[in-house]
Amino acid sequence: MREYGHISPRVRENLVQTLKKQGIKDLRVLEAIRNTPRHKFVDEALQHRAYDNDALPIGNGQTISQPYIVARMTEALLAGNKPGRVLEVGTGSGYQAAVLSRLVKEVYSIERISKMLPLVKAKFAEINIKNVKFKHGDGNQGWVEHAPFDAIMVTAAAAGVPTKLYEQLKMGGRIIIPIGMESEVQDLVEVVKTASGHQYKFLDKVRFVPMRSGNI
């Protein structure tokens, strides 16, 4: 395993073993978590907690998701297939996109808070990730220029599946999204697009910041 600064491989391995105990089974996901330097995506003052299985603040009222939730959503996205083109709504710290970049061919990530993107882009350049494209914009609108997508991951809680996102999903594709925008705890669901409509599957209980329209 690679050494990342002062963070030892053992600390990262402990996180992977914790995720296994919590039920994450996909070896591809566990390997991506193992090899993604989460400490690069948190504030320097919190780097000693980077491999704890906790969500951490990243400023602007946002958080870096708990590693278990990142792994759970990624595992659900990959289940039964390997999507080639994935849209992520809510770049945040960039950690989820970094994990996805190790597992799919192309990642397109949208962030509504403009001042977060330069920091994320600098981190991706530092760790040499080149298959992720970023956009400042309203995630509810998706990224029509690169649609259709094999899969979509939404990392903020919505009232329901945004129409534009569903329209930009390939037939047979899936959206992983927290539903329950005004609730403290949301339902993480999988929505699969089929010829006869859409199929919902409950995955877990989660806590995410609400999905907002517009960009700043």
Query: Which residues, other chains included, contact 27 with Cβ-Cβ below 8 Å and sequence gap of 6+?
Result: none
Instruction: Enumerate domains of the chain plus CATH numbers.
Output: 55-206 (3.40.50.150)
pLDDT tens for the chain, 216 residues long, are 344 446 777 889 999 999 999 999 999 999 999 999 999 998 888 888 989 999 888 877 778 899 999 999 999 999 978 889 999 999 999 999 999 999 999 999 999 999 999 999 999 999 999 999 999 999 999 999 999 999 999 999 999 999 999 999 999 999 999 999 777 899 999 999 998 888 899 999 998 888 887 666
Give the other-Cβ count within 10 Å of 25's Cβ.
10
Place of tokens 């990224």: 143
Q: Which residues have a catalytic role annotated?
A: 65
CA nearest to 94, candidates 41, 34, 51: 41
SS3 assignment for 134-202: EEECCHHHCCHHHCCEEEEEECCEECCCCHHHHHCEEEEEEEEEEECCCCCCEEEEEEEEECCEEEEEE
With a threshold of 0.95, does the pTM exceed it? no
Q: Which helix (H) or strand (E) holds 117?
A: helix 117-126
